[in-house]
A and B are shown apart, each in its own frame.
Chain A
Amino acid sequence: MTMLLLVLAIAALLMLRVPVAFAFLGPCLAYLVIDGQSLGLSMRTIVNGVSSFPLLAVPLFVLVGTTASRAGIADRIFDLALALLGRVRGSLGYVNVGLSLGFSWISGTAVADAAYEAKVQIPVMLSKGYSRPFSLGVTGASSLISPVMPPSIPAVIYAGIATVSTGALFAASVVPALLMSLGLCIVVYILCRSKPELDGEPFNWKRLGRAAQRAIGAMAAPILILGGILGGFFTPTEAAAVGAAYMFILGFAYRTLKVKDLPSIFRETVVTTAAILIIIASASLVGWILAIERVPQQVAAAMLSVADNPTMFLALTALLMLVLGTVLDAVAALVITVPILLPIGLQIGVDPIVLGVVLIVSLMIGLLTPPVGTVLYVLSSATGAKIGEVFRGTRPFFIPLVAVVVIVIVFPGLVMWLPNLLGL
């Protein structure tokens, strides 16, 4: 069985409504068995694909979001944000981007951010008259800020494989993450500017004071989580658990959470988590087959035959990552491609830090593209919206995201400015 047959089988099963995970799992199992590998290999590979420490942040951040939403904590934050922005048209759109930017200093993955915000922000946006596609789109697109802004799990992994300084890569990612946020806000402005129904209520000091008082407990959450990480009390994954514990305490203190709510909070968290992780597990099996068939190496050889300058090379890399990011877990894609791309890049004269930023930003956009963009599925699973609807919603936001990739490729100096400033 050739790779082409494998790809066709996966595509056919996907179109015939076989769940994404099973559309990957079935053909891969058949492929490996025909290839003479042991039956257990597929099983071991998918179990290992999800039993990784950084992924523990997924259920925990889903738990934070579910609990916060059930305990009404989200509403308190939004009341405050709305009171702050006053009449600004489309204020919840900006709040959505801004909270992702804030969350990005805590979270290292887009999936956790999207899962959290799907629960916390989308219901409130819908109730305030924002359209479903817009709410889904801005949430999905802004979740990509998390894995770009440090701390970033993909950055740590890239730095480890490419043997570059993690600190320098972290610093290099800050400007692109801020550019992403700015670009998304511009799209929010354009989409909302002719919609007077999205005007906030007039600014009112008394309302702001009341909202601030109600939101003090909620506002302390990022301080607790971020402060905990920056103060050296716990790691980012541990921060997710502490955040969840804090949300329970807050909910019980506000009396908006009852012990009888716990089973349904847990149920919701478990369902969302399992639906996401089984896809990551099955993608890791695809990754194994690609690796053993040396597909990435063939792609790299083809690439080297056309790219002869850094800009061209980075542009092709970004393109390749956009494609790979749709069918592979970002971590798996990095692990497979960096060892092949890095030597080519160095040969052509690309700074490995710039390559890392380009890889990460473009892989992250892949999370938003069908057929298998993970963030689309997270939003679909968390809100019940169809994949197509989520994708339609995210479409306008691709323009700034792709623009950031282009800017980073054309002006690598923007990436290197902060690490150089800090002497990294």
Chain B
Amino acid sequence: ACGEDGADDAVTLSFANSYPTSHAHNRCGTELVKEKLEAADVGIEVEIFSDSQLGGDADRFTSVMAGDISMDIQGSSALASSHEPIGVFDMAYAFDGPDHLFEWFDGGDADQLKEDFAAETGAHILDVWYFGMRHFSANDPIRTPADLQGLRMRFPDSPIYLANAEAMGAEATAVAFEEVYLSLQQGVVDGQENPIDTIQSMSFNEVQSHVSLTGHQTGSQMIVVSDAAWQSLSSEQQEALTEAVHETRAENRQCIEDDTEAILDEWRSAGAPTIVEDVDLAAFQAATEAYFLENLEGDQLELYESIRSSAP
């Protein structure tokens, strides 16, 4: 506003997230966005705050809504606390994988969702990144929904994850994330579900004999930007930011997939944990689809049907 031009006018955007600097979302996520914007030379500087330094997921999103944080990486279940329909992204077998996720998101059906989201929260969804597929770990293989019978499975404390548990026929039990390792080790719970890199980084593989590749959730992460930050950008800057985030998406996915493969290879060659690949996906998909079609209503049902009908 002071009228001087040159580098002094650069807008600084804070870009926060909950992941360690070593995680793909920072290593080949936020860092790439920062580099791309520097290269674009449009007067945007990015400051990255990893590792929940600026608060937990829900709290950081509130800060985005209030304009205290410019940008963040948020899972859809956390965002569902502010705009319920978006929770559908995290529902079991809603998406068939990252290709389906990206195609649906770019296909136009997401535009209404993004508009409603912005109207309700005052924050904008710039794009969606891939977070990896969620799988079960336990001390038994889980190939069919019936294998979940009698196992106490730890799910995150949110209605969507509980609905997923119910849809798959699992007995969900509440354990805070900080206590999951000990609980698995001591048998307080029998198993849990997370993406492969989380299972590895939290060392759950040390205390579980089997990881079953159920891929029951296509992990998705929204790149959100606060309205205050968005409005402070010129249209050229808005375009550059959108492009940087969108271009990073593919590289980020590649990183996630490479990391996941590397960990799986390591487990395979170590012989532990046993990786269960012959999962009856059709049985899980049928069970969850029947459940959600019966139990969802309103906007959520509409969104779920839109996503499922676009499945390849």
Residues of A within 8 A of B (CB): 37-38, 40-41, 44-45, 48, 52-54, 151, 153, 156-157, 159-167, 229-237, 287-288, 291-292, 294, 335-336, 338-339, 343, 424
Given contacts A38-B66, A335-B52, contact A235 B202 (CB under 8 A): no
Identify B200's interface contact among A44, A156, A163, CB under 8 A: A163
For the complex formed, measure the closest distance between the CB of A42 and the CB atoms of chain B, giving whole angstroms: 10
Q: 7 nearest interchain CB pairs? A: A232-B187, A53-B176, A291-B53, A163-B201, A232-B186, A38-B66, A166-B203
Given contacts A40-B66, A54-B178, A160-B201, contact A288 B186 (CB under 8 A): no
Docked Cα-Cα span, A161 to B201, in Å, equals 8
Whether a CB of chain A sits under 8 angstroms from the CB of B233 is no
Residue numbers in B under 8 Å from A40 (CB-CB):
66
For the complex formed, measure the closest distance between the CB of B79 and the CB atoms of chain A, giving whole angstroms: 17
Whether a CB of chain A sits under 8 angstroms from the CB of B175 is yes
Identify B207's interface contact among A48, A54, A167, A236, CB under 8 A: A167
Give A165's nearest chain B residue, CB to CB.
B203
Docked Cα-Cα span, A247 to B9, in Å, equals 64
Docked Cα-Cα span, A52 to B47, in Å, equals 27
For the complex formed, measure the closest distance between the CB of B126 and the CB atoms of chain A, giving whole angstroms: 22
Whether a CB of chain A sits under 8 angstroms from the CB of B49 is yes
Whether a CB of chain A sits under 8 angstroms from the CB of B21 is yes
Interface residues of B in 172-190 (CB under 8 A from A): 175-176, 178-179, 181-183, 185-188
Q: CB distance B181 to A156 under 8 Å?
A: yes
Given contacts A41-B66, A160-B201, A231-B186, contact A288 B54 (CB under 8 A): yes
For the complex formed, measure the closest distance between the CB of B16 and the CB atoms of chain A, giving whole angstroms: 9
Given contacts A163-B20, A237-B176, contact A48 B181 (CB under 8 A): no
Known: A166-B202, A167-B203, A288-B53. 18 other contacts (CB 8 A): A38-B66, A41-B66, A48-B55, A53-B178, A54-B179, A162-B20, A163-B200, A166-B181, A167-B185, A229-B186, A235-B175, A235-B183, A237-B176, A335-B52, A339-B20, A339-B21, A339-B50, A424-B206
Interface residues of B in 218-235 (CB under 8 A from A): none
Q: CB distance A230 to B186 under 8 Å?
A: yes
Q: CB distance A236 to B182 under 8 Å?
A: yes
For the complex formed, measure the closest distance between the CB of B246 and the CB atoms of chain A, giving whole angstroms: 26
Docked Cα-Cα span, A163 to B183, in Å, equals 19
Given contacts A166-B181, A232-B188, A291-B54, contact A38 B22 (CB under 8 A): no
Docked Cα-Cα span, A157 to B203, in Å, equals 12
Identify B68's interface contact among A41, A52, A162, CB under 8 A: A41
- Could you write out 26 A-B pairs with CB less than 8 Å apart? A44-B63, A45-B55, A48-B55, A48-B56, A53-B179, A156-B178, A156-B181, A159-B181, A159-B202, A160-B201, A160-B202, A163-B20, A165-B203, A166-B206, A167-B185, A229-B186, A231-B187, A233-B188, A235-B176, A237-B176, A288-B53, A291-B53, A335-B51, A335-B52, A336-B51, A336-B53
Docked Cα-Cα span, A166 to B202, in Å, equals 7
Residues of B within 8 A of A (CB): 14, 20-22, 47, 49-56, 59, 62-63, 66-68, 175-176, 178-179, 181-183, 185-188, 200-203, 206-207
Docked Cα-Cα span, A165 to B266, in Å, equals 14
Give B175's nearest chain A residue, CB to CB.
A235
Residue numbers in A under 8 Å from B20 (CB-CB):
161-163, 339
Q: CB distance B21 to A343 under 8 Å?
A: yes
For the complex formed, measure the closest distance between the CB of B97 and the CB atoms of chain A, giving whole angstroms: 25
Give B197's nearest chain A residue, CB to CB.
A163
Residue numbers in A under 8 Å from B22 (CB-CB):
163
Given contacts A38-B66, A161-B20, A167-B203, contact A235 B179 (CB under 8 A): yes
Give A166's nearest chain B residue, CB to CB.
B203
For the complex formed, measure the closest distance between the CB of B183 and the CB atoms of chain A, giving whole angstroms: 5
For the complex formed, measure the closest distance between the CB of A285 and the CB atoms of chain B, giving whole angstroms: 11
Give B51's nearest chain A residue, CB to CB.
A339
Docked Cα-Cα span, A184 to B178, in Å, equals 30
Identify B206's interface contact among A160, A165, A231, CB under 8 A: A165
For the complex formed, measure the closest distance between the CB of B66 and the CB atoms of chain A, giving whole angstroms: 4
Q: CB distance A292 to B178 under 8 Å?
A: no
Residue numbers in B under 8 Å from A166 (CB-CB):
181, 202-203, 206
Q: CB distance B68 to A37 under 8 Å?
A: yes
Docked Cα-Cα span, A162 to B233, in Å, equals 35
For the complex formed, measure the closest distance between the CB of B64 and the CB atoms of chain A, giving whole angstroms: 11
Residue numbers in B under 8 Å from A338 (CB-CB):
51
- Best-surrounded residue of B20, B56, B182, B183 (most CB of chain A within 10 A): B182
Residue numbers in B under 8 Å from A151 (CB-CB):
182
Residue numbers in A under 8 Å from B54 (CB-CB):
288, 291-292
Residue numbers in A under 8 Å from B181 (CB-CB):
156, 159, 166
Residue numbers in B under 8 Å from A163 (CB-CB):
20, 22, 200-201
Given contacts A153-B178, A236-B179, contact A44 B62 (CB under 8 A): yes
For the complex formed, measure the closest distance between the CB of B34 and the CB atoms of chain A, giving whole angstroms: 14
For the complex formed, measure the closest distance between the CB of B181 and the CB atoms of chain A, giving whole angstroms: 5
Docked Cα-Cα span, A291 to B77, in Å, equals 26
Identify A41's interface contact among B49, B63, B202, CB under 8 A: B63
Q: CB distance B14 to A292 under 8 Å?
A: yes
Residue numbers in B under 8 Å from A167 (CB-CB):
185, 203, 206-207
Residue numbers in B under 8 Å from A52 (CB-CB):
178
For the complex formed, measure the closest distance between the CB of B311 and the CB atoms of chain A, giving whole angstroms: 34
Residue numbers in B under 8 Å from A54 (CB-CB):
176, 178-179
Docked Cα-Cα span, A199 to B62, in Å, equals 60
Docked Cα-Cα span, A294 to B63, in Å, equals 18
- Best-surrounded residue of A161, A233, A287 (most CB of chain B within 10 A): A161
Give A291's nearest chain B residue, CB to CB.
B53
Give B56's nearest chain A residue, CB to CB.
A48
Give A290's nearest chain B residue, CB to CB.
B53
Residue numbers in B under 8 Å from A41 (CB-CB):
63, 66, 68
